[in-house]
């Protein structure tokens, strides 16, 4: 992860174009090494560089927070993603549910599972990357 961040910084200072793919690669490197704060910093820099977040960047930063036991931050980011135009999929839902588990938030985990069940389950079971259009209205916003 340190080499990935060094390369990211070299690109940043040399005025090379930092697209979403570069950001996502750096976030993923941080996620894999438990560097959730650095992943979050990189995630925020996407907007600072006038780029739009997407499912890959959201998933990577939520996963980084979940793996580090930062369930509150993971759920907050999931809530922000759910309120945005970014579609979700089974993988990111599983990450959010795992974050709930780590934070002993069983009620929220069950509510998230309910959102999945309201979607077309049979199609999603065959394709974990298939987008899920979120209807988060019945999940209390205070949980995010």
What's residue 6's pLDDT? Answer: 67
What's residue 123's pLDDT? Answer: 52
Instruction: Evaluate if residue 137 carries a pLDDT over 70.
Output: no
CA distance to 5, 107, 137, per residue, from 83 (Å): 29, 20, 10
pLDDT in tens, 104-114: 888 888 888 88
What's residue 142's pLDDT? Answer: 45
Range from 9-18, 53-62, 121-130 carrying the lowest mean pLDDT: 121-130
pLDDT, the chain, mean: 76
CA–CA gap between residue 46 and residue 104 (Å, rounded): 31
What's residue 37's pLDDT? Answer: 94
Kindly indicate the confidence band of residue 136, based on its pLDDT and cuts at 50, 70 and 90: very low
Provide the b/e sequence for 105-143 (b: ≥16 CB within 10 Å): beebbebbeebbeebeeeebeeeeeeebebebeebeeeb
What's residue 143's pLDDT? Answer: 47
pLDDT in tens, 33-79: 888 999 999 899 888 878 888 888 888 999 999 999 898 899 888 88
Instruction: Evaluate if residue 141 carries a pLDDT over 70.
Output: no
What's residue 85's pLDDT? Answer: 66
């Amino acid at each position: 992860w340190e080499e990935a961040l060094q390369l990211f910084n070299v690109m940043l200072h040399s005025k090379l174009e930092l697209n979403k793919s570069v950001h996502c690669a750096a976030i993923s490197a941080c996620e894999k090494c438990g560097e959730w704060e650095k992943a979050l910093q990189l995630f925020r820099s996407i907007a600072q560089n006038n780029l739009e977040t997407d499912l890959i960047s959201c998933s990577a930063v939520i996963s980084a927070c979940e793996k580090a036991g930062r369930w509150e931050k993971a759920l907050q980011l999931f809530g922000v993603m759910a309120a945005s135009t970014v579609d979700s999929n089974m993988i990111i839902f599983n990450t959010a549910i795992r974050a709930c588990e780590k934070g002993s938030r069983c009620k929220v985990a069950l509510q998230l599972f309910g959102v999945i069940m309201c979607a077309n389950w049979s199609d999603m079971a065959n394709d974990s990357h298939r987008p899920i259009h979120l209807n988060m209205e019945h999940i209390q916003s205070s949980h995010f």
